[in-house]
Amino acid sequence: MEIEEQQYIVEINQVSYQYSSRNVLEQITMPIKKGAFLGLVGPNGSGKSTLIKLILGLLKPDKGTVKLFGEPVDKFRSWDKIGFVSQKANSFNSGFPATVFEVVSMGLYGKVGLFRFLTKRHKEKVKEVIESVGMGEFIHQNIGELSGGQQQRVFIARALVSDPELLILDEPTVGVDVSSVRNFYDMLSKLNKINGITLLLVTHDMGAMTDHVTDVACLNKHLHFHGNSKEFEDNKDLSEFYGHDVHMLTHNHSHGGH
């Protein structure tokens, strides 16, 4: 039992889920090892965001179990070990009255309490994290005045500032240009390799993804594949189906006003 806790950060076991009697996920078993950088791919509507909500305890499985750090999700309380950036994080308009520094500081409130002052150490941590996502020069800028991709980096900084052991990102690169996507993946790789953070990344950027992740999971109601990225690339049928399908759908997706 103890060995299991060490080894797996997330254990999804035989999970099924339906929204109003329509099956969205069936019999998903997907353990995530400590230290993995797992890319989760699948066409629109394949259940990726639903699976993440199940991991975060926002939805309850109809069948099966979810464990986090060895504990059943409904008993789990150490939420500061988990950072999360949702698919629709990009929603600050230009009037939103908070600077990059302030938005990232919000990520510490779970630790320091909403109305307590940040210590000097906390402030340094906030600054350091902002720099690590390449946003140092914007630290005192209003969040609403940044581009979508820049805002996305700030949200990641906010998720990182409490030093999570697991970082979950649901399509963080929607609206981010191609060269920034590369930099962004390099940044995630560093977090994974150097800081040892376990990462779960939902993405449609197949090209950038396969160069960076350690493992890939392919979801389309069922989990069609879960293995290391080399096995995924060697499986031509799979990588073509998911690569092609996902690409086509992403194209429509991004012009359909997400």
Q: Which residues bind ligand ATP (CB under 6 A)?
A: 19, 24, 42, 44-50, 87
Closest CB 4 distance from ligand ATP, rounded Å: 27
**One-letter identity of residue 213:** V
Distance of closest approach, residue 47 Cβ to Mg ion, in angstroms: 8
Nearer to ligand ATP, 59 or 187 (CB): 59
239 binds, among Mg ion, ligand ATP, none (CB under 5 to 8 A by kind): none
Find where tokens 């900084």 sit.
Answer: 157
Residue 141 contacts which entry, Mg ion, ligand ATP, none (Cβ below 5-8 A, type-dependent):
none
The span from the CA of 216 to the CA of 63, in Å, is 24
Of 141 and 220, CB closest to ligand ATP: 220
Binding mask 13-52 for Mg ion (x = CB under 5 A): -----------------------------------xx---
**In whole angstroms, how far apart are CA 126 and each of 187, 219, 227, 251?**
17, 35, 35, 36
Of these partners, ligand ATP, Mg ion, none, which one is at the site of residue 42 (CB under 5 to 8 Å by kind)? ligand ATP
Give me the least distance between CB of 115 and ligand ATP, in Å please: 34
- Nearer to ligand ATP by Cβ, of 118 and 241: the residue is 241
In whole angstroms, how close is the CB of 250 to ligand ATP at the nearest point? Answer: 8
Using a 10 angstrom Cβ sphere, with 0-12 exposed, 13-18 middle and 19 or more buried, the burial of residue 57 is middle
Nearer to ligand ATP, 53 or 122 (CB): 53
Contact at 8 Å (CB) between 51 and 90?
no
Our CB check for ligand ATP shows the closer of 48 and 67 to be 48
- Nearest distance from C-beta of residue 36 to ligand ATP, angstroms: 20
Closer of 44 and 142 to ligand ATP (Cβ)? 44
3-state helix/strand/coil string of 64-92: EEEEECCEECCCCCCHHHEEEECCCCCCC
Residue 19 binds which one of ligand ATP, Mg ion, none, with CB within 5 to 8 A depending on kind? ligand ATP
Judged by beta carbon distances under 5 to 8 A according to partner kind, the member of Mg ion, ligand ATP, none in contact with residue 47 is ligand ATP
**What pairing do the DSSP bridges indicate for beta strands 8-19 and 198-202?**
unpaired
